[in-house]
Amino acid sequence: MTQRTDPYRDRYAARTAGMTGSEIRALFEVLDRPEVISLAGGNTYTDIVAERVVECVAEALSHVGERDDPLQYGKGGGLLPLREHLVDLMATEDVEADPHHIVITDGAQQALHLLAEIFIDPGDIVLTEAPTYVGALDAFASFQADVRGIAMDDDGITPDGLERALVALRDEGRRAKFLYLVPTFQNPSGVTLHPDRREPIVDICRREDLLIVEDNPYAQVRFEGDAVTPMRTIAPDQVIYVGTLSKVFSPGIRIGWVLAPEPVRDRLVLAKEAANLCSSPFTQRVAEAYLSSPHLQADLELVRKTYHDRRDAMLDALHAHFPPAARPRVPGGGLFLWVRLPEPLDTKAMLARALEAGVAYVPGTAFFPVKRDGRRCIRLNFSYPSIEDIEEGMRRLGAVVSDELDLARHLDA
């Protein structure tokens, strides 16, 4: 394909140089092909709540003409009744909150963008897990952050690893603006930060006066194991909490939120109003109707059971069709399976072959600040495809992995 010349390139703001296309978004055009089974995205199985949405839309429209008319503009901080219901939802995760400290956003992605906007100057350092959520990397890069990753094991980052990162920064005469964590059923790895590590990490951040941004979209999607205390509960003044209804209700309504100390909350409202005045009052009313419905807990249980079954189907298919050296991390919740493939496979280079075989995944390199990392890893989604598509997609992908591995070994021989 011929590279197009951009006649506007000399007019863009300098910060746009850090904007790059997400490797996941780049797959979307290909995923429209009906013959391709997608294990790549992060979509949820919205059939579970489809009938509820119709009911909630009717409930939202019943408020037309009232003071908080859902067809009018709304407040920058969001609809108060929705914020009150989000307080109740977070209480089930052991997070105490005041509705006046919550800002409603267009999904958690906008929350991350707004936090980057109010905290990051060009060149500022942000610490993250490595790997980490690609949308966060994109948000931070758009404000020219210098993102430094901290390696993880099966229990998340270690206090020692965080200490080493902070010492390295001091040696440079630098400090980080904040530490970004997805500590529960992390995207992409599925790892949950071990309970014994959470308080020591908070203690280090307190000592260093380092804010923590806790992105917690998957806490309600637990299908085994005990609940883990959120970072926000350990240190309310040290932790900014980000949540979303995308995983438990619908990503299409675009309802996320930030729970932050009042001074930060006030800045976020100003940034929110400058960005788009307010989130849709209509979809906020729909979300409020769902959170106040008697179906919420039953639907959450069905979501957990459905994803649990699909995770197990994906693990069974992996063991049946992949080489024995493929190593999955088994998550106790969330939407994703993270798999490390044997040397010398390069999963980014292998993607074209997989698409030819009719299956899509996300290469591990998408989730690291340094893009050469993660080349042997893949992220697979089990929440959206049916069990039949999971089994067939894994069969196709396992055949590609085996063929690529055989070819690599033949070339080395």
pLDDT score of 1? 42
Measure CA of the first residue to CA of the last residue in the chain; give whole Å: 35
What DSSP character marks residue 120? P
Q: Tell me the CA distances in angstroms from 262 to 98, 103, 165, 259, one per residue in order.
A: 10, 10, 29, 9
Contacts of 380 (CB under 8 A, 6+ apart): 39, 40, 314, 336, 337, 338, 339, 361, 394
State how far the alpha carbon of 186 is from the alpha carbons of 26, 201, 217, 237, 265, in Å: 22, 17, 9, 23, 25
- Domains and their CATH numbers in the chain: 14-48+297-412 (3.90.1150.10), 60-291 (3.40.640.10)
What pLDDT was estimated at residue 355? 94
Provide the token pair at 124: 């500022």
Residues in CB range of 198: below 8 A, 6 or more apart: 183, 228, 229, 231, 234
The pLDDT, as a whole number, for residue 212 is: 98
- At 265-282, the pLDDT tens digits run 999 999 999 999 999 999
Sign, CA dihedral 277-279-282-285, equals negative
- The parts of the chain modelled with pLDDT lower than 50 are 1
pLDDT at position 408, please?
82
